Amino acid sequence: MHLTVDMPTAPADASGDPAETLRDAIAGKLQGAAADTIARFTDELTGPLDEDAAGEVLRELLTAGVSVEQVTSALLLCQLHAAERLDVRLRSGVREGPGPFSIIDLVTTFARVQTLWMSVVHEHYDTLLGESEQALSRSNERLLIETTKALWLKDGVADLFNYFCELPVTASVRVHELDSAYLTVELTAALRQVLAASDHGATALAHASDPGKTVLLRRQGSDERCVVFRIVGASDHNEARRRRVRIRPPRATPLSVALPDQTSFDGHVVDFSVIGMGVELPGVDALPVGSRIECSALFEGRGRPYEFTCTGTVRWFVHRAGSCRAGIELVPSQVQMQALERLMQEFQRDAIGRLGRKMGADDD
């Protein structure tokens, strides 16, 4: 930061009280500051240095709108006054009143004041920068929402969605009304499912004009024909951060595990993904971590059962209450992985459908 500051001169009028003359000179440098703040500045910067108190009054001046150049000029005036006072003492040998009493004291105090002042200035500009960035972010968010609302009005349709784990649940619904804070849309079976996929059926997301952003909508009320949403705000689209889903089968899924020595155990699947399974094996104390095993499970899918057999590796186990809970990393073939993916999506859709029907019954 480059500052251009007029070097202050010592008060020319030596006939009056030096303290009053200095105070008046400082007040002239700090135009716009409150009288009590100027008095505290003079006391703190011409007496024994208390960095906490001096830092507080310096922050007050900047917050009040006094420029960095004005404060810097006043600080130089205080330092010039201290240097002249030291010169008089060194010439006369008088050691009364406040310091400094030596060149070393003077230079050390100057260095502490300058370090403190630079710290306060950096802190002040960091605060202003943070406030500017927040204001810019709020302005961009308002612009994004207004642009998205304009698209809703233009098309007459709002594309709403939620994520049920990793599966997007979508609905294109007709816009009934739109104002500055609320969106009213047609209530359809697809929208029921979108709401069902959210926490407590309370929210929905809307695609914003920026593909990397979404608009959050919170349900305020509904009847048999429409839903009223409050437009909450915009945020980053977290699609890329969604984790790989693990599905808990809706029906009992029997499982058989075979170790390399041909020992086998029966149990059931707790949850699964395309790359792993959580299993529970009653009556088993432990499975050797790192061992290769053969898993066979019978999933009850829609329409017909699906028998799944795959090699896996035991990654962890926990023994409790006469049962072993284990995590198995699967090594499926491409065909098996695609089958698991279809099965997971089927379970997800069934769960969303049940939630949607439940919400419809609750609304009735």
Residue 76's pLDDT band (cuts 50, 70, 90): confident
Angle between the N-to-C axes of helices 334-363 and 189-196, in degrees from 0 to 180, rounded to the nearest 10: 110
Supply the pLDDT for residue 347.
Answer: 77
Supply the pLDDT for residue 110.
Answer: 85
Supply the pLDDT for residue 355.
Answer: 61
Residue 321's pLDDT band (cuts 50, 70, 90): confident
Q: Specify the higher pLDDT residue, 217 or 247.
A: 217
Supply the pLDDT for residue 279.
Answer: 92
Residue 228's pLDDT band (cuts 50, 70, 90): very high
Percentage of the chain beyond pLDDT 90 is 11
Supply the pLDDT for residue 182.
Answer: 92
The per-residue pLDDT for range 100-155, each reduced to its tens digit, is: 677 888 888 888 888 899 999 999 888 888 888 888 778 888 888 888 889 898 88
Supply the pLDDT for residue 361.
Answer: 56
On the question of pLDDT at 230 being above 90, the answer is yes
Percentage of the chain beyond pLDDT 70 is 83
The per-residue pLDDT for range 86-97, each reduced to its tens digit, is: 888 788 876 666
Supply the pLDDT for residue 185.
Answer: 92
Q: Distance between CA 281 and CA 67 in Å, rounded?
A: 74
The per-residue pLDDT for range 234-279, each reduced to its tens digit, is: 877 665 444 456 677 777 789 999 988 888 899 999 888 778 889 9
DSSP per residue, 63-119: HTT--HHHHHHHHHHHHHHHHHHHHHHHHH----SSS--SHHHHHHHHHHHHHHHHH
Mean pLDDT of the chain: 81
Three-state DSSP class for 297? strand
Q: Distance between CA 70 and CA 124 in Å, rounded?
A: 15
- Chain centroid offset of residue 143 CA: 20
The per-residue pLDDT for range 144-193, each reduced to its tens digit, is: 888 888 989 888 999 998 877 566 788 899 999 888 889 999 998 888 88
pTM of the complete model = 0.47
Supply the pLDDT for residue 241.
Answer: 42
On the question of pLDDT at 229 being above 90, the answer is yes
Supply the pLDDT for residue 242.
Answer: 47
Q: Specify the higher pLDDT residue, 39 or 6.
A: 39
Three-state DSSP class for 47? coil
